[in-house]
Structure 1
Amino acid sequence: MSADLDRSALRQFMLGLAQGMNASAESVDRIRDTMTEVAEAYGADDTDFVVLPTIILVETGESDQSRVALSSATNASFRFDQIAALCALVGEARRGAVAPLDGIRRLNEIGAMRPRLGWATRTLGHAVLTVGLALLLAPTWQGAIVAFVLGAGIGLLKLVRSPTLQLVLPIAAAFVCAASVFLLAEVIEIGDPVRLLIAPLVTFLPGGVLTTATVELAAGQMISGASRLVFGLVQLSLLAFGILAAGTVVGVEDASYEPLTATSPLPWWVALLGIVVFALGNYLHFSAPASTFGWVLLALIVAYAGQWLGTLLLSATVGGFVGAAAMTVVVFWIGALRHGTPVQITFLPAFWLLVPGAAGLVGLTEAVAIGSGLADFTAALVSVMSIALGVLIGTALYRVVHHGAEEIVQFAVAAPTVVDKTTEPAFWKRLLPWRHGRGTG
């Protein structure tokens, strides 16, 4: 009976870990790999997993002795302080260093964590990150002030715990932001109005979702990748609908949706200021641990520098690829340091900085409004693919550099004559997952 209770606790513990990683915006292939490592650490090699964005199953045992734990994943999203606590727990679980019952208790504590910062500070943080992105997308001082006001209002509404409000908030926010920006554009110089209104909507943009979807499709996770891709495109469409509805009410002409060229660009250092302000806003709004600010700033600088260099030398699409690849290597390196920062805390702000979702929203809005933006929307989707490919290449590069040399040496030393499941090193288990029943279907 004790063994059955322990196995049941382990199933619930692994189920909770998978739910937490799902709420941390991890891709399903990474969740599955992590759960496999946890199962091996606890000696539960007979464990199998089904991980999807909306459902998670954990099975232990074989044949008629198998037991299944099932959970419907919610749309819950963890703050950065919760992600940091969860990653610490996952690290212990990978070593089998925490009892399953203690792990379940800690998971409940993580889910119930109160924000480290108060509501006023977090609202200010959303306004600040909006200003930072506005300085990068539509760099005018007047536009930055408008972005601050709109970002503060949306940041305050995002903290309200109302399922009904959260359901309609993206469309309502798009409508209010678009109406405000279009009206103000007639009286003050705020730069490109369509790109400016993207800044307060940045936390609604599915740039990370679209990129994760592409990564999952490339990894063979067809169900998860396709569902995320459709979800991201629908979310873009809803935001575009809010913008177009506001334009119709205000009486905006079709030409107002076309991108504008800044008449008096701000100095070059404004972009650097925007990156710092954007990092500070993320730190405040998502209640990040104090030690993470410097690492997030480093990831943002690398992402922006890579994107800028790739765009300068080749094209904007290649710029996204270079920025994503460079950023991915750096964030994995940071995550591997003894006093580093969990990968997702540095990944998510960098995704928003690369703004694949913003490009898609601008392209979709132009396509519907003026009928000539289809090429822009297609280019935006290609940009998403480019960024996702950059993430894949960056991940592969990091694994080769960080793990490859050591494992190749271990393999050369072992040099088994006959390779089977008992002698095959971990290096080949990862390269040939199909030989161990860990297919990507």
Structure 2
Amino acid sequence: MKRKRTNGLTCERARAFPIERALAKLGHFPTRTTHKEAWFLSPFRSETQASFKVCKKLNRWYDHGAGKGGNVIDLIYQVTNGTVKETLEFIANENSLFSFQQQPILKKENQVDDKVVIAKVKTLGHPALLGYMKSRAINIRNAKKYVKEVHYTFKGKPYFAIGLKNGSGGWELRNKYLKNCTAPKDVTHIQTGHQKLTVTEGMFDFLSILGYKGAMEQESDFLVMNSTVLIQKVMSVSKGYATLELYLDNDSNGRSVTKTLMEHRGAKDLSSVYKGYKDMNEWQCENVKDAVGQGIQDVFLLPQKQTCFTPDGQRRNKMKRTYIKFRCTIYEKKLLIKRAERAGISLSEYCRNTAFGRNVIERLSAEQLECYKTLVDFKNSFTRIGNMFRKRNPRLESEVQKLAREIGEHLKNFRK
């Protein structure tokens, strides 16, 4: 096969042109760089987190968002949407700045594999990964249904991470220190036969929603995008559902994707649930910090001292020495605490009274108390009028007019 040439430049020599320099010429610059690699915002789409990596040693690129990579010719060819001839001319124009001498090729045995190689997949159980899940406010029991503990090698070094498998057999890999993935890139579609589809950007948002709505698995299918560039795949999948619930990030990229997906006739944007936070998981982590009690999902009814009276009227203190612990979501727990506060009693007393069917009355707010006093005044006024009517009291007319004016003043407050 003959080599393609442009002004004496062969494809083989052109591949030695540094990808970083080609990207700079195209107007793209790294957001992070080391002596081994450089990370860029993808030249193929708009994004806020760099997912485009350049390996300096091998002079190769890989787009983690799209799940594809190649050499410098492949890159320029795809970015400019031109021909191979035009691509070589593009590189040849840099001839005065770059020497196209063939760079030495490392011996095969000395090359380090730059791909993620899966070594072992098992049930999530490593203490470091469980600790990381806990720090992200994720329910471990829920997580074990969907994610795995994945051991893999990257650049010849062993790693382990929490893994979520996508629809094409690739993995999204997360641990406390790094974020990685394996090709091919795809969405994760969890099908349980429902007509509602819940969509999130990443695995932790998905797992957070399972904690937010305990019975969610019984009423919805789920789709984790794994990358917003896969929006066309999401749109294709969503056509088979009557309802689409969107829990996407509160950033420019997430809002853009949400706007596109809202074209679905049954779409609902639920990002207002975590308004003021980047995503669902960040909101949940913050709520867990504010939670009161021994654990994220444990409610403790602790021993309490109760004052009782004997039949002869003597006072006796009775100590409740046993306690009950029951499971609930963090949001149910906060609601129980709030209702107990409104009733002016402890959480234990509120739960105990509710369990035994006793009536729990919430304390009146200042505004409610003011309304109550006003109603009492009206009641007394109407009682006086009734008495005057029976006794033919001449002051009856003036009392009625006075009461009418009072009611009129209160009605004005509703118009404000």
Band of TM-score, shorter chain: under 0.3
Q: Where is the helix percentage greater, Structure 1 or Structure 2? A: 1
Q: Where is the strand percentage greater, Structure 1 or Structure 2? A: 2
Structure 2 length as normaliser, TM-score?
0.27
Q: Which structure would you say has the larger Rg? A: 2
Q: Which has the higher contact order (CA 8 A, sep 6+)?
A: 1
Structure 1 length as normaliser, TM-score?
0.26
